């Protein structure tokens, strides 16, 4: 699996646009409704919907800036509290996914933060009916170990994402949907590490990554 930096940048941009389309579209619709609505109660409801959509948009941007972009400052490490806030902001407001945070290190290398966030994104998205998302990480002797565990009544990990994580997708076959999975696979491979994914028939979805960062 080999994708040029330009093509991968396009995949990430497409993924961002797709994920932001819904909350930004809701903002636009809410403004149109507000302009035509004169009933005080309905106007208040419109304002509440606008606030929810604006918050969702901001949370997504903060998460993707850290997971895909260059957020976290100019150093080699990122405050893990920032990563925790990004994950809780992305999933916490919908009350579908409960977050279990088991990271004691105050900072982690940037590559590790990106792997952690993107695995959390994939695991959270796989909980189509909600559930529990547990995230753990530990750094020692220049290496990082990350575990993400998703449990819920219905777990769906798309085969394309599974293939991108394990590196079993053919050349040029990655779509924007699998951009996060491809990024994880590349970062772990660059760290001369190993990425494990629980089998499709497992009752829980489990990701494990160990690599040098």
Binning pLDDT at 50, 70 and 90, where does residue 74 land?
A: low
pLDDT tens digits, one per residue of 2-61: 677 778 888 888 888 888 888 888 888 888 888 888 888 888 888 888 888 888 889 999
DSSP codes of every residue in the chain: ----HHHHHHHHHHHHHHHHHHHHHHHHHHHHHHHH---HHHHHHHHHHHHHHHHHHHHHHHHHHHHTSS-S-SSSEEEHHHHHHHHHHHHGGGSSEEEEEEE--SEEEHHHHHHHHHHHHHHHHHBTT-EEEEEEEEEETTEEEEEEEEESS-B---HHHHHHHHT-SPTT---GGGHHHHHHHHHHHHTT-EEEE--TT-SSEEEEEEEE-
| Residue 172 pLDDT exceeds 60 | no
Domain region containing 75? 5-212
| Residue 73 pLDDT exceeds 70 | no
Better-predicted residue by pLDDT, 161 or 27: 161
- Considering its fold, how many domains does the chain have in total? 1
Q: Where is average pLDDT lowest: 23-32, 68-77, 174-183?
A: 68-77
* Domain of residue 33, CATH code: 3.30.565.10
pLDDT at 124: 96
pLDDT tens digits, one per residue of 180-210: 999 999 999 999 999 999 999 999 999 999 9
């Amino acid at each position: 699996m080999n994708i040029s930096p330009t093509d991968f940048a396009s995949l990430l941009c497409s993924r961002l646009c797709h994920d932001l389309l819904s909350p930004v579209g809701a903002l636009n619709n809410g403004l149109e409704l507000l302009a035509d609505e004169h009933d005080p109660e309905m106007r208040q409801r419109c304002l509440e919907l606008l606030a929810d959509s604006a918050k969702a948009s901001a949370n997504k941007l903060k998460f993707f800036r850290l997971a895909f972009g260059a957020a976290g400052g100019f150093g080699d490490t990122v405050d893990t509290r920032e990563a925790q806030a990004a994950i809780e902001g992305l999933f916490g407001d919908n009350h579908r996914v409960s977050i279990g945070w088991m990271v004691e290190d105050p900072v982690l290398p940037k590559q590790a933060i990106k792997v952690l966030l993107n695995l959390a994104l994939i695991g959270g998205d796989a909980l189509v009916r909600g559930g529990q998302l547990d995230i753990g990480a530990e750094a020692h002797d220049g290496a990082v170990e990350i575990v993400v565990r998703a449990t819920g009544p219905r777990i769906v990990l798309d085969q394309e994402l599974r293939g991108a994580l394990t590196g079993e997708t053919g050349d040029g076959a990655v779509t924007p949907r699998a951009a996060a999975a491809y990024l994880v696979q590349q970062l772990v491979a660059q760290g001369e590490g190993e990425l494990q994914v629980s089998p499709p028939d497992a009752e829980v979805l489990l990701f494990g990554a160990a690599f040098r960062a």
